[in-house]
Amino acid sequence: MSASAPVEMSRLRWLCRRGMKELDVVMSAYLDNHYASATVEQQSLFRDLLQMPDPDLYNLLLGRDTADDPRVARFIKRLRK
């Protein structure tokens, strides 16, 4: 673990705090339970999702919208589990 890893995790934890409690729960659970063991690509996709506006992310997680990128679509399916 690099010296910057705790800083990065702290930043990601802050980004997981969303305007919607449901998103807080899903994103924080992934960070706590899967992020450290995720592939570099999965970590990158997670960080990208954290940059999305809450309504867009919420709609993807609920299946109301579908991601154009198949990698994102697969990752969203993983988050739903």
| Whole-number pLDDT of residue 81 | 81
| Whole-number pLDDT of residue 36 | 94
| Whole-number pLDDT of residue 26 | 96
Q: What is the pTM of this model?
A: 0.89
Which amino acid would we find at residue 61? L
Extract the residue ranges of the chain whose pLDDT is less than 70.
1-3
Distances (CA, A) of 12 to 42, 66, 70: 14, 24, 24
Q: What is the DSSP letter of 20?
A: S
| Whole-number pLDDT of residue 3 | 53
Percentage of the chain beyond pLDDT 90 is 86
